[in-house]
Structure 1
Amino acid sequence: MSKFEAPTNRAFLFIKPNAATPAMEKLVETTLAARGIKILKKGVIDGPTIDAKRLIDQHYYAIASKATLLKPSELPVPEDKFEAFFGIKFKDAIAQGTAVNALDACKKLDCTPDELRAEWRAVCKTGDMIKFGGGFYCGKIRGLQIFNPFFMAMRAVYTSATAKLIYFDVEFDSNQLSWAAFRGEVLGPTDPVKAPSGSLRRLALERWEDLGLPFAPDTTENAVHASASPFEGLAERMNWLEAEPKSDAFGAALIEAGVPLSTIRSWANDPRVALGGGAEGSRVDAFGE
């Protein structure tokens, strides 16, 4: 059978650190089994490993690239908008060291990720921030122009000394379960309140105390993550498990279709791509169902 006709899909699912309890792990296992989803591999990744390998930075690359992975000089900043908003040329802000990413901002301001996020929330209320694009923000905080200041607090949830996530490398029959059903019915939407009965996020909300969770899941901390498409599943397995593209049907199909490995790896970083009509969008989203 051609790889293009392979009936199985692979996805990467993990229980987020604030929900990584034995009871939640058991709930995920039983829910997946009830929907005919096979667990090929599961394991635990601790915070120091996530930090050292920058796994969460790669996972949230579109946001993290501006906050931790790249310096401002490497970012596609619309310089005219930057100057109009902050009253300084972007190149001068770089030269003076006032334009910084969130990682360097914490060092310059000698503040914690949570403290930086609090200051970010304050400038959001006063209007001292600008959005340059999807997942691309800059705020005026204590004389600095800081890119994506909110990410460091998000990152700290995964990288603290006591943090861990529980992951599941899963496979399901595409003839029995579509990606839309996997995301909408098995995982549930971002807001657990809106998730359907029996979905993981809804169950986590309904049973959070019995599951040993420290608080009721919400839109920001919704207990579980899962891949949104065949390509996202591949990209996430490449990141978290160091999987090779040929290791699942979709990756093998891309290779069979003539897509170079270097291109697949580049796409996994979720570059902006032309969508037609002058618009741009996410490469990962373009593969979504």
Structure 2
Amino acid sequence: MKNAIKDAIRSAQHSTCRTLPIYRDEVTSYGKNNWLCFIKPEITRPSESINLDAILELILDRIGAFGLTIHSATLLSADYLKDHRLIKQHYGVLDEVATRGLAALSEVAVERLEALSGQPLANLKVLGGFEILESYPFFNAHSLDCLWQNQENIKLGGGAYVEKLRIDLETIYVLNGFHPKQLEHFTVSGRSIVLLDLSGDLSWAESRRHFIGATNPLKAEAGSLRRLLLEQKVSLGLPEVSQSFNGVHLSAGPVEALVERLRFESDYDSGRLIDPASLPFGRQVFETLGHLPEALLNNQVVTWEGHHTSIFDLTEEMDSTKAIEVLSALRL
């Protein structure tokens, strides 16, 4: 499979391909959890220094080590991603927080921000990454990301990260300051992402902690994929492995994985959209609820145990069976 993935990546670097099917296993049954993983452009971009063979061997080795099955592999080119705005949709929460700032934070995230700062919200200046670029035009996406990488960030909730920065005489709590550059990164011609449809009996929490690792590779568990990419970046020929460029994506929870598979595996050039009931978790939802609530696809904010939270946040790192129980209890 390594050579097939490499050939597809090379093809995208040197041609105007849109999408390329690489591999499909229609025999092996799905395990209890189903993730969407994808290899990011920091690995697939044209470069003479990147050791693509070694990187793909590492990724495939870790997938096997955690007992995960690859059911399909597909390449999507940067031009295809840009034309259909798939990355902006994919980073929906990240993008919304970077765009709308404080207004996009959940109730729980606001509480965490107040606890972190030790001050009430009214005393804080809080801006999203795109709001910073609008308010301080001497910053661009690259320079803001450089500043972000030199500070420690804290996760406030799903898709919401904060750093305390001093700009001129102001103290500002910046939300998702890395995202403007992250968005640009995916849409440069010659780049691509490689989708991997994975399943297995590994718990969702274990997959995030030990298989893929934390979003920031510096904080990732030893032996996790993102940590290994960081530790081996010199031999792998990767100039940067960081929170913004961590090499690989893995779905945060089963609802998010369903939405991601529908988004990325549908063929927008031909208009062929995937039926949610054809996917493992979508089928479980249909069998339990009798329908697929729009609230799931829209990541609606719901009330759970007295708190307002999004469905993605609520089901983050839940195994599929537990998520189905929660969705059933919500009576969507």
TM-score range, shorter chain: 0.5 to 0.7
- Is structure 2 residue 297 aligned with structure 1 residue 268? yes
Greater length-normalized contact order (CA 8 Å, ≥ 6 residues apart) = 1
**In structure 1, distance between residues paired with 2:214 and 2:304:** 25
Give the SS at the match of 2:252.
coil
Report the equivalent of 2:228: 203
Contact 2:33 2:203 in 1 (8 A): no
The CA deviation at 1:168 is 0.8
The CA deviation at 1:155 is 0.3
Contact 2:179 2:244 in 1 (8 A): no
**In structure 2, distance between residues paired with 1:179 and 1:276:** 22
**In structure 1, distance between residues paired with 2:229 and 2:147:** 31
Report the equivalent of 1:280: 308
Change (3 A) 1:209 1:119: closer
- 194, 198, 207: which is aligned to 1:166? 194
Aligned counterparts, 1:144-223, within 5 A: 151-172=179-200, 174=201, 177-215=202-240, 217-223=241-247
- Is structure 2 residue 65 aligned with structure 1 residue 34? yes
C-alpha distance after superposition, 1:127-170 (max 9, x if no partner) = xxxx9x97499xxx9xxxxx977533220011122332222111
Contact 1:18 1:214 in 2 (8 A): no
**In structure 2, distance between residues paired with 1:246 and 1:210:** 43
Change (3 A) 1:8 1:134: closer
Contact 2:35 2:197 in 1 (8 A): yes
Q: What is the identity percentage for the equivalent residue pairs of Structure 1 and Structure 2?
A: 30
Change (3 A) 1:19 1:276: same
Give the SS at the match of 1:171.
strand
**In structure 1, distance between residues paired with 2:97 and 2:222:** 37
* Residue segments in structure 2 that go unaligned for 5+ positions in a row: 1-29, 45-51, 106-121, 168-174, 267-273, 319-332
Contact 2:71 2:197 in 1 (8 A): yes
Contact 2:212 2:250 in 1 (8 A): yes
C-alpha distance after superposition, 1:242-283 (max 9, x if no partner) = 2432123221111112253352xx423323222343x32121
Change (3 A) 1:181 1:162: same
Contact 1:274 1:281 in 2 (8 A): yes
C-alpha distance after superposition, 1:184-224 (max 9, x if no partner) = 22112223234333321121112112222122x22332222
**In structure 2, distance between residues paired with 1:231 and 1:169:** 15
Aligned residues between the structures: 249
Report the equivalent of 2:37: 13
Amino acid aligned to 1:281: T
Change (3 A) 1:148 1:218: closer
TM (norm. structure 1) is: 0.67
Amino acid aligned to 1:153: K
**In structure 2, distance between residues paired with 1:84 and 1:159:** 38
Give the SS at the match of 2:79.
helix
Change (3 A) 1:120 1:209: closer
Change (3 A) 1:208 1:230: same
Please say which of residues 21-30 and 222-231 is displaced more in the overlay. Answer: 21-30
Amino acid aligned to 1:14: F
* Residue segments in structure 1 that go unaligned for 5+ positions in a row: 1-5, 77-82, 87-100, 125-130, 142-146
Report the equivalent of 1:49: 80
Amino acid aligned to 1:167: L
Amino acid aligned to 2:184: A
Change (3 A) 1:269 1:219: same
Give the SS at the match of 2:261.
helix
Report the equivalent of 2:13: none
**In structure 1, distance between residues paired with 2:179 and 2:221:** 29
Change (3 A) 1:134 1:241: closer
Amino acid aligned to 2:183: R
Change (3 A) 1:148 1:254: same
TM (norm. structure 2) is: 0.59
